[in-house]
Structure 1
Amino acid sequence: MTDNDSDVRLAHRLAEIADTLAWEFFGGAPAVQHKSDGSPVSEADLAVEKALLAVLAAERPGDAVLTEESGSLGTRSSRRRWILDPIDGTIPFLAGERGWGTHVALEVDEELRTAVLSRPTERSRWWAVRGRGAFTSARGEPLSAARPLRIPSAPLPLEAARVGGFLMPDSPVEPVRDRMRWVESSVCLVGDLLEGRVDAVIDEGGHVWDRAPAALLVHEAGGRVDDLRGGGRLDERWLVYAADGVADGLAGLLRDVGA
């Protein structure tokens, strides 16, 4: 096994630990606090984060970590950084809804190398390795049984494109949603893009830990990741994940409306 394979297996183990522990709280009434921005953080979020950090401290003690609840941990000089969102979708998680899961990514020399995104209620997991592709597998399946993912690349008029998104209140996208086939909700919009059920996803105001696994997954599945400034930075206000055939049209529309 190469070091890279070891990292892939560790990323999957982190996701499994997170899914298992979060499931113990799901449907219950975990204690909730509110952060300075008003968003909720539950005892489930904190318990999952603590468990993941303990594994990384034991198995990758020299690696840095960026995680939603604790921020940046470890030495800044490390070439390697794990990026974690212990429970992505805390609000639906607390409401007993299905749109939550865990995000795990590994960055080496500021390049994303490994990513895992899970949705435990669906027993679904999407994962990618830089240069080796993107895949989907059911929870508990061996990695050898994973199915490759490929986002269709054929040209598609924007008005025919199925687009979903995570938008801020008063988003400039709101007035132009009728220029595309807007998808109102989903258990995992990025998973829908990877599996061909939508053609693009708009992310307004997301954080690095929200975006890191999705960015590598979409790239390795043949899609486009665009920050509307000609790159794919994860810390810009906007990020668009899209099939190649609709990416330019959608990004152009967003620039036109002032995104």
Structure 2
Amino acid sequence: MESDSDVLLAHRLVDLSDELALRYFQQDVPSQEKADGSPVSEADLAVEKAMLEVLAAERPRDSVLSEESGADERGKLSVAPRRWILDPIDGTVPFLAGRRAWGTHVALEVDGELRIGVVSRPTEGKRWWARHCSGAYASTADSPLSTARRVRIPATVTALRRARVGGFLFPGSPVEAIRDRMCWVGESPVSLVADLLEGRVDAVIDEGGHVWDRAPAALLVQEAGGHVDDLRGGRRIDQPWLVYTAHGIARELTGLLKNTVG
């Protein structure tokens, strides 16, 4: 089970990563292309190294899954009950381009269930965090643990054609053929998931995202009263598709997507 100290540690990891990443932001940062074609920069690696060092010192029995280094079981059983999931710099492309849509993702999974999730946007001085069965909150870098502003996704009972929908899609995605059936908003200048949490969009479609991209977002949406669907009858974050929606359009949107993507 997670503890209050785990919540504190998750925020400390985000504090550390945000501070370090901002030192590199809008600088000439060396980068290279990974096997999947995505970039990894010197900043990604430095941030990840710092986060892993903290976890090795403070949670030596826990396993870790991090974007750049993969799974680190620290010599433990692969079925370790507690796993930290890290994306040191989510949004490396906008980070390297000097745009704002990047930050850190931290989640803690216990016995296969997401228990803590934090998403930050350092250029805005903001973060969104959640704890299982305790709600989702928007806070600032100055008061990261504040629960003064709880976020709740509006029910949004409306026809899909009027719903504001954004997404992370591959080129040639089958969703492109149905985007005219909704108010497609495309990308966000800061965070589509945060836009959903705060009522600026009604749904987010994620095609082919990784576990470290999705883990904190999935918990945040659930704790904010939204709907998470993997289009296969569950909420698994390791499937090809994941959809976050306000409940009012969940059935119509997920039904359309299931018929479209197969």
Counterpart residue number, 2:183: 181
The within-5 A match list for 1:85-234 is 85-186=87-188, 187-234=190-237
CA–CA distance in structure 1, aligned partners of residues 166 and 153 of structure 2: 16
Counterpart residue number, 1:8: 7
Question: 1:56-102: CA deviations, max 9, x gaps?
Answer: 00000000000000100012132100000000000000000000000
Q: Give me the TM-score of the superposition, normalised by structure 2.
A: 0.96
CA–CA distance in structure 2, aligned partners of residues 196 and 243 of structure 1: 9
SS state of the match for residue 173, structure 2?
coil
Counterpart residue number, 2:243: 240
Q: CA deviation at 1:119?
A: 0.5
Q: Is the 8 A contact 2:117 2:220 kept in 1?
A: yes
Amino acid at match of 2:106: V
The unaligned stretches of length 5 or more in structure 2 are none
Amino acid at match of 1:61: P
CA–CA distance in structure 1, aligned partners of residues 46 and 24 of structure 2: 10
Question: 1:141-183: CA deviations, max 9, x gaps?
Answer: 1523541011112422100100000000100011111110111
CA–CA distance in structure 2, aligned partners of residues 232 and 226 of structure 1: 5
Question: 1:223-248: CA deviations, max 9, x gaps?
Answer: 00000011011111100000000111
Amino acid at match of 1:257: T
SS state of the match for residue 79, structure 2?
coil
Q: Is the 8 A contact 2:87 2:105 kept in 1?
A: yes
Please identify, of 137-146 and 81-90, the stretch whose mean Cα deviation from structure 2 is larger.
Answer: 137-146
Counterpart residue number, 2:19: 20
CA–CA distance in structure 2, aligned partners of residues 184 and 230 of structure 1: 26
CA–CA distance in structure 2, aligned partners of residues 88 and 192 of structure 1: 16
Q: Give me the TM-score of the superposition, normalised by structure 1.
A: 0.97
Give the number of aligned pairs: 258
4+ aligned runs moved over 2 Å, structure 1: none
Please identify, of 85-94 and 183-192, the stretch whose mean Cα deviation from structure 2 is larger.
Answer: 183-192
CA RMSD of aligned residues (A): 1.2
